[in-house]
Chain A
C-alpha cells in the first residue's frame, strides 16, 4: 500500500472548517498533508467526485460478541467501509451486553484484529441493559467507550435515568437514548396509524417515543448534560427537540435513512424487512423529519444498522425481530432523497455524517486539515446504484431497499491513509 498520494481535482467539502471548493488533498503516513508538501507522490484523480472528512455512523450493531451468525466486527466494518464510513459507534446490546470493561476490551481487541474501519464502543447505561441497576460507567469510560446507551431498550425508571445522567456527566460521557415508553408501546409491531388499523396489527403510537423524548428533555435541562435522542421517528419528537434547543437545552437528535425515505404503507405485504423499531411512520412524520434536518434541529444521520439472519427474519411479522441493515445504503438513500431532491445542500448533508456526530461524541474537529488522521470519504453523487442484497458486504441481507435504484454512492473510503474501499 502506498504511503503517499494526492487526491486531485475533487470537490472538497469539509464541514468542520466550512470548506467547499476544488482542491487537492495530500496523504502521507496516515495523516493529511498539504498536497504541495509531497509533490512527487502518486496522483489519484478524483475529479467529479466529492472528498469529505470520514463519515461517522454513530449507531451501528456489530453483533459481536453473541450473534456472529448475523454480523461480525469483520463483516460489519467491511460493510461500513463499502458504505463510505470510516468510523462507527458500536451499540452495547451484544451478548453479553457491553456493560463491563472486559467486553469493551474484547471489542477493541477484535477491532484491532479484524476491523476495517474505526470502531468506537458504546457502553451500557444499566447492567445487562435490564433497566434496573446502573452499569459501571466509570470503568467503561476508562476502557474507552465514547458514550453510554441502553439502545434497543429504554430505561423506564425515571429516577434511575436521572442518576445515570448525573453520573455520566461527571465522566463526561454523552447519553445516547432509545426513546420508548414500554407501557404504551405494549406489544406493538408497527406504527399506530391507518396501516396498522387496516392490517389489524398492534400499533406503536408516536406517543411512546414522544413521552420519553419529553422526559429526556427534562433530564437534560435539570441536570444540564448532553442527551442525544437516537433514531427519532415522528413529528412530535422533532417539534419538542426544536423548542428545547431554542431554550439552550443540551439535546440533540439523529434520524435514520429509512425513516427519511420510507413509510408504514410498505408493510402491507408483510415484508419483515420493513419491521424496525422505532417503526416506519406516516408520510407526515417523514416530512417533519426532513424538515428537522433542513432547519438544523436534527444534526445527525445514523443508520441503526441492525443485522438479522434470514432465518430470524423469514417468519410471521409479529414474531420477526426489529431491525434492518443500513451501512451500505445510507449514502445512496440520503443523496437520492435529500440532495438530488434539493432539500439539503451537499455540505449540509455531509455535515450530518461528520461534524454532527463528532460534536456530540467530542471527536476531533480538524476535518481534512493538515495533521489530522487521514480518514476520508469520497463520494460519487451521480452514479446509479441498484441494491443487490446478495452483493452486500454485511453478513445479513435484511435490507428494505432490496432492488431499489438510487443515485450516488461512496466511491472510496480511506482510514488512517489506507484505502479500505475503492471504486475510483
Chain B
C-alpha cells in the first residue's frame, strides 16, 4: 500500500482505473472527509493552483460540490458556463480548452452532454481533466462517492449485491457505478422497464431484470435513479404513475427489501415516483451522506491528479 503511486493527470472514467487506484482514491477521501469536520475546513493542498470549472451542460449539485472541494483545498477557481462561454460563438471545444490552458490553468473540471468530450480535451492539452459527467457515458466522482458510502457503511464491497434501478439507458451514474462495483468485487443488478435497461449489459456480467421484486430481494444496496419525464414523451414508458407502480420503491415494494439494505439515490429525487418520501427520509436512506461524501471524494481526486499535472 505504501508503495502505491498515483500517476494520472486525468480522471475520465472508472473503466480506465485499476481496483487498486479506486481503493487509493477512497482511502485518500477518508482523510479529506475529516477536513470538513474540523473548525478550519480548509487545507492549503492546492494553494496557487488554478481550477477551471467548465460546465457545457448545466449542473447545480455537482458544480457546487466541486467548487466547495476546490475552495477547501485553497485553489483559485474560475467558473465557465456554456451560456457565457465562447462555444456559442462557434469556437470548437478544443479551442476553448486551449484558451483555458493558455491562462496557465492547472485543472479543468468539465461537464458536457457529449460522451467522450473530456477524453478529447485530456488527450490534447497539458491541464489535468476531471470528468464531471459526459452525457450518458460517465460520471466518475458520483460513482466514487457511491463506492465510498457503501464501503463506509458495509466495510467492503466484496460479495455485496447492489441493485441499480431505473433509467439505465440514459444514466452515466449506472455506467460509472457498474465498473467500480465490478472492480471492487460486488455483484450488480440493473432493473427497470425493458425499454430503459439494455440486455447488452449482460456482456459485462451484470444481471438484467425487468421486475422490481427480483432486484430488491437479497440486495445489500439499492440505488434508485431519477426518472425523467422527458423519456415518457419519447415513448420509453407510458406514465410516471405506471412507472412508480412497477418500478418505484414505495410502501408496497419495500417489503422485499432486506432490513439492513442501504437505499441510495444520486439526486435530485422525484419524490414518490422512483422513491417514496418515507423511505428517502427513513433510516435505511444514506442519500444525504452521499452528498457529504461527494465533497470528500472530489477533494481527494483533485488532490491526486494535481500532483501529476506537468508544469
Contacts and interface: CB of A to CB of B under 8 A. Distances in A.
Direct A/B contact, Cβ within 8 angstroms: yes
Interface of A: 193-194, 197-201, 269-270, 311, 314-319
Interface of B: 15, 92-94, 112-117, 119-120, 134-138, 169-172, 175, 198, 200-201, 203-204
Contacts of A199: 115-116, 137
A315 B94 contact: yes
A314 B120 contact: yes
A316 B56 CA distance: 12
Contacts of B119: 269-270
Nearest to B168: A197
A314 B94 contact: yes
A257 B113 CA distance: 32
B236 to A, nearest CB: 13
A318 B112 CA distance: 11
A319 B204 CA distance: 28
A199 B117 CA distance: 12
15 contacts: A193-B200, A194-B200, A194-B203, A198-B15, A199-B116, A200-B135, A200-B137, A201-B115, A201-B136, A270-B116, A315-B92, A316-B116, A317-B114, A318-B113, A318-B135
Given A199-B116, A270-B116, A311 B135 contact: no
Contacts of A201: 115, 135-137
B137 A316 contact: no
A39 B92 CA distance: 62
A135 B51 CA distance: 55
Contacts of A270: 115-116, 119-120
Given A316-B116, A316-B117, A197 B198 contact: yes
A305 to B, nearest CB: 24
Contacts of B170: 200
B172 A200 contact: yes
Contacts of B137: 199-201
Q: 3 closest Cβ contacts across the A-B interface?
A: A270-B116, A200-B136, A316-B114
A324 B200 CA distance: 28
A201 B117 CA distance: 12
Main DSSP-derived SS at the A contact region: helix
A283 to B, nearest CB: 12
Contact of B115 (A194, A314, A317): A317
Which of A198, A200, A269, A315: most chain B Cβ within 10 A?
A200
Nearest to B136: A200
Contacts of B120: 270, 314-317
Contacts of B94: 314-315
Which of A201, A270, A311: most chain B Cβ within 10 A?
A270
Contacts of B113: 318
B246 to A, nearest CB: 22
A65 B232 CA distance: 44
Nearest to A316: B114
A357 B198 CA distance: 40
Nearest to A269: B119
A198 B200 contact: yes
B200 A316 contact: no
Given A314-B92, A315-B94, A318-B135, A198 B175 contact: yes
Nearest to A312: B92
B112 A316 contact: yes
Nearest to A186: B234
A200 B138 CA distance: 8
Nearest to A317: B116
A158 to B, nearest CB: 23
Which of A194, A197, A314, A319: most chain B Cβ within 10 A?
A197
Contacts of B115: 199-201, 270, 317-318
Nearest to B202: A194
Contacts of B172: 200
Nearest to A319: B114
Contacts of B134: 200
Contacts of B93: 315-316
Contacts of A315: 92-94, 120
B114 A318 contact: yes
A193 B119 CA distance: 22
A311 B93 CA distance: 11
A309 to B, nearest CB: 11
A193 B138 CA distance: 18
Contacts of A200: 115, 134-138, 170-172, 175
Nearest to A197: B200
Contacts of A269: 116, 119
Contacts of B112: 316
Nearest to B92: A315
A75 to B, nearest CB: 24
B266 to A, nearest CB: 15
